[in-house]
Amino acid sequence: MGRRIPFQSLKGENMEPEILYEDASLLVVYKPAGMAVESADPSQMDLYSFLRNLRKEKEEEDYIAVINRLDQPVEGIVAIGKSKAAAEKLSKQMIEHDIRKSYYTIITRDNLPEKGTMVDYLVKDGRKSRAMVVDKNDPRAKKAELNYRVLEGIDNMHLVDVDLLTGRFHQIRCQFARRSAPILGDIKYGGYNTGRNLALCAYRLSLKSPETGEYVTFQVMPKGKDFQEFSYFRNQD
């Protein structure tokens, strides 16, 4: 069992970061939807500050380095390097695509092929804080690729398992929206407004341990209310 740490958002939502694993080099944490990894607002507690404060309270070195970032409305697994040496090893894995990331999401579309590969070329629009699909010959373009398979459907909602092959800004959100299949709750990309965080969970993360060099895998179940509508999760152990 992970160690849960009570936290309340400014909106009054009960959110619980959970430490899934910790050793001398690596900290693996579940980040709840609605909590920023690092916030530009100093009045808002974010995961980075929260973990640094926790380490200070335990009289540990407060150095931490976030390896994989999740958008604020996304829940899931975040890896943290606890030393500069560990952070360098983990960051190298990110650059070389050796860290494997899988997501659950719920998309809205009447007809979606049961499985497939999406390849696009994306550009980040910093002013609007969103990604755009552009021509592959655009000098700003970065290749974005993912594999997906549909796990279950309810009316026009589909529970989808996504293997992320590249890690571009808003990649999953943009690529599905491009195919008229926006993520449930993702109003920025045309999704239906549920009044909740968007239905996207980084549920599995595999990386090489900085301590041993062996692959280790971490996995969580999504906690967002929209996911609980699907029998797929009720059938899991």
pLDDT tens figures, 96-149:
989 999 999 999 988 889 999 999 999 999 888 999 999 999 999 999 999 999
**Whether the predicted pLDDT of 11 surpasses 70:** no
pTM value is 0.90
Enumerate domains of the chain plus CATH numbers: 3-234 (3.30.2350.10)
- Residue with more model confidence, 214 or 15: 214
At CA 146, angle to CA 135 and CA 68, rounded to 5?
105
Residue 47 φ/ψ, nearest 5 degrees: -65, -40
Q: State how far the Cα of 175 lies from the Cα of 191, in Å rounded to an integer.
A: 13
Q: How confident is the model at residue 10 (pLDDT cuts 50, 70, 90)?
A: very low
Q: How confident is the model at residue 2 (pLDDT cuts 50, 70, 90)?
A: low
Residue 148, CA distances (Å) to 134, 172, 220, 224 in order: 21, 10, 18, 20
CA torsion sign for 152, 236, 234, 8 is: negative
Start-to-end CA distance of the chain, whole Å, equals 14
Residue 216 φ/ψ, nearest 5 degrees: -130, 145
- Tell me, what DSSP letter sits at residue 143? E
Q: Identify the pLDDT of residue 25.
A: 93
SS3 call for 128: coil
